[in-house]
Amino acid sequence: MPDQQQTTSRGRGRAGLWLALAVAAALVVGGGVWLARDPGQRQVVTDQPSATPGWSTSPSLGTTAEAVPAPRRPGAPVRLRIPDLGVDAPVEPVKAPDRTLVPPSDPQRLGWWADGAKPGDREGSALVAGHTVHTGGGALDDLEQLTEGDRVVVRTDRGVLRYAVAKVRIYTKGRLASDAERLFSQDAPGRLVVITCEDWDGTRYLSNVVVTAVPV
């Protein structure tokens, strides 16, 4: 467990944070990030909305709770472009009430975790998440097609930041939970992490795509 004084000194309780993805049994899209401040709080996350605090049914999507907007602070991402995939999507700052981060319900809009690192920070993973649509139409539907070296461009109110893809991995839910502390570390050198769902089986998503990109 991280030292309480160290956690407070870092601001926003960033030391020792870990993230695990909790995906609802969605008919169309799925995706939400479950946060815990203490690794000792880890629990099994299922694909059923009723099993994960913070999930509810969205009338428009039949999947998850609506995103909770956060104030836009200086340096927050405004748009994310992935030229090789033809992606140019707006990014909205979102909160994580009950430690559940839900992207905007519009799959063409992405959510940035406003209590984590910002793009361009020297330390921490700037987390951007978006819904996937198994019939098409989601900004991140083809995220798994990225390869090492592909470019990701983030526009903020302070300028444009460029990243190169360092790793593309597909994780099962269980593996993502076990590796989450490393994947979404807020103590790592500054980087961008983009995540969405993958492996639709006809009723739900079985896996997640995690793309890690580093500044160039």
Dist. CA 104–CA 65, nearest whole Å: 9
Are 40 and 1 spatial neighbours (Cβ–Cβ below 8 Å)? yes
* pLDDT at position 32: 56
* pLDDT at position 99: 66
- Along the 216 residues of the chain, how does pLDDT read in single tens digits? 333 333 333 344 332 233 333 322 221 234 455 544 333 332 222 222 222 223 222 323 334 468 889 999 999 999 999 999 999 999 999 987 776 778 998 999 999 999 899 999 999 999 999 998 889 999 999 999 999 999 999 999 999 999 999 999 999 877 877 787 888 889 999 999 999 989 988 888 888 899 999 999
Dist. CA 47–CA 49, nearest whole Å: 6
The partner residues of 192 in beta bridges, in order of sequence, read 126, 213
Question: Taking Cα atoms as reference points, which of 151, 153, 69, 61 lies closest to residue 107?
Answer: 61
* pLDDT at position 180: 79
pTM exceeding 0.85:
no
Pairing of strands 33-36, 18-21: antiparallel
Question: Taking Cα atoms as reference points, which of 118, 115, 126 lies closest to residue 11?
Answer: 115
* pLDDT at position 170: 94
Are 193 and 208 spatial neighbours (Cβ–Cβ below 8 Å)? no
